[in-house]
Amino acid sequence: MKYFSLNNREHTSNFEDAVVRGLAPDKGLYFPEEIVKLPASFFQELNKLDKTEIAFNAIQKYVGAEIPDSELMDIIDETLDFEFPVVDVEENIGSLELFHGPTLAFKDVGARFMAGSLGYFIKKGNLGKVTVLVATSGDTGGAVANGFLGVDGIDVVILYPKGKVSDIQEKQLTTLGQNITALKVDGVFDDCQKMVKQAFLDKDITEQRRLTSANSINLARWLPQMFYYFLAYRQLADKNKKLVFSVPSGNFGNICAGMLAREMGLPIDHFVAANNANDTVTNYLDTANYKPKPSVATISNAMDVGDPSNFIRVLRLFDDEYSSVKKVLSAYSFDDEATRKVMKKVYSETGYIMDPHGAVGYLGLQKYLKDKDGYYGTFLETAHPVKFLDTVEAAIGDKVEIPDVIQALMDEQKKSLQISNYEDLKGYLLS
């Protein structure tokens, strides 16, 4: 498969170069030249296949011969080594729980797949050593650290804002050791992000280290997210209802992968982009005007994005036609008060505990399904409630049970280096 830059169709790349680079040289996002269509028979027989076989069939043509089939199978096997259950919450509404991975966040799948792919390219070739440099406001760092832990030839350097990530998230970043280094930045997330961007443009650094990023613009993190929708469909097909998925969205990588799966033939009727107060896409669908704005802080902070980087891929999927996007995608925005309220309501009525992101997804679903019949709606639960413990316990007025993996983590020793400015980062990378 070839990939072109969304800034310039003439610039193309194979899978490996696109994964190693992250962004095209002209800073465009990579997009596949062709959307793979899967035969109807594949979907009819989905329940005869296991997770790995389903995922392999979905992604194989996007990778092509660049990773041999048997290696690709192994990478997928390791990537999907946990459960993806759709749990009935109430009549015709289910929660697709994506938080059963090692860091209890859906980003585990993309991070593991990228680590496997990049690890393979390093093992086979002449890339030399690679440094994955990433800024995190919370979940990305933990998933990336865990996914890349112990992968030969890769060093991971994670920048996170001091005092701005939860205790659990900080533990997930700073307790692994080996090839993972956590840099605690005296500043906010935007400062971390700026330093990372500057490093990518700094010849002193790039002449000495091959840098790559691991955020959701990278194909190897974006594409495997389509697996969730195939695995959910396998559990939902025999409901014989029209299917709608509501996706709590920040940078729109996850929902865009779901929409890609639909274009490949997966029988999904409609998508809802569930947004918090960061409502750029909600406004776009209302007005046909895309107007990015600065992000605002909310309790569903992984979605605090004012200019979602992957939305340009959503548009491309529909030939940049506003009317075509609108047929398949709805978007709604909810504030923190509505989010807290619905967490409490669903907990009192059903006993089901949602994290703030999943709760926004639930709200979006509810709004879309109002006055509609014949649907089964699924919202994506993108993080375990324990990752947002204080917010969740305050909202539901009850305790959340702490999973064993988190309990164990709490006893580990945090280890990070503190930096205050770009020169510190540069000094570290050149040392």
Ligand X SMILES: *Cc1c(COP(=O)(O)O)cnc(C)c1O
Work out how close the CB of 249 gets to ligand X at its nearest, in angstroms, rounded to a whole number: 4
Which CB, 232 or 302, lies closer to ligand X? 302
Listing from the earlier edge strand, what are the strands of the sheet with 30-32? Answer: 8-13, 3-5, 30-32
Structure tokens at 252: 């729109």
Work out how close the CB of 384 gets to ligand X at its nearest, in angstroms, rounded to a whole number: 9
CA torsion sign for 361, 367, 370, 373 is negative
Which CB, 32 or 308, lies closer to ligand X? 308
Contact criterion met (CB below 8 Å) for 234 and 47: yes
Which letter does DSSP use for residue 332 in this model? E
Which CB, 296 or 430, lies closer to ligand X? 296
Which CB, 175 or 254, lies closer to ligand X? 254
Q: 14-18 long-range CB contacts below 8 Å, 24 or more apart?
A: 14/64, 14/66, 15/62, 15/63, 15/64, 15/66, 15/67, 15/219, 16/66, 16/121, 18/219
Work out how close the CB of 251 gets to ligand X at its nearest, in angstroms, rounded to a whole number: 3
Alpha-carbon gap, residue 206 to 219, rounded angstroms: 21
Residue written as tokens 């807290």?
340
Work out how close the CB of 213 gets to ligand X at its nearest, in angstroms, rounded to a whole number: 14
Nearest CA among 383, 223, 232, 227 for reference residue 303: 383
Q: Is 2 a catalytic residue?
A: no
Which CB, 131 or 216, lies closer to ligand X? 216
Where on the chain is the footprint of ligand X (CB under 6 A)?
105, 107, 139, 216, 248-254, 302-303, 357, 382-383
Work out how close the CB of 366 gets to ligand X at its nearest, in angstroms, rounded to a whole number: 18
The secondary structure of 184-234 as a DSSP string is: EESS-HHHHHHHHHHHHT-HHHHTTSEEE--STTSHHHHGGGHHHHHHHHH
Which CB, 67 or 310, lies closer to ligand X? 310
Which letter does DSSP use for residue 244 in this model? E
Active-site residue identified among 107, 164, 171, 184: 107
User: Residues 215, 217, 220, CA angle at the centre, nearest 5°?
Assistant: 80
**What are the two backbone dihedrals, phi and then psi, of residue 296, each rounded to the nearest 5 degrees?**
-115, 150
Alpha-carbon gap, residue 134 to 214, rounded angstroms: 6
Structure tokens at 128: 């030399």
Which CB, 137 or 181, lies closer to ligand X? 137
Task: Please name the residues in contact with 66: beta carbons below 8 A apart, sequence gap of 6 or more.
Answer: 14, 15, 16
Work out how close the CB of 70 gets to ligand X at its nearest, in angstroms, rounded to a whole number: 30
Work out how close the CB of 297 gets to ligand X at its nearest, in angstroms, rounded to a whole number: 15
Active site (catalytic) residues:
107
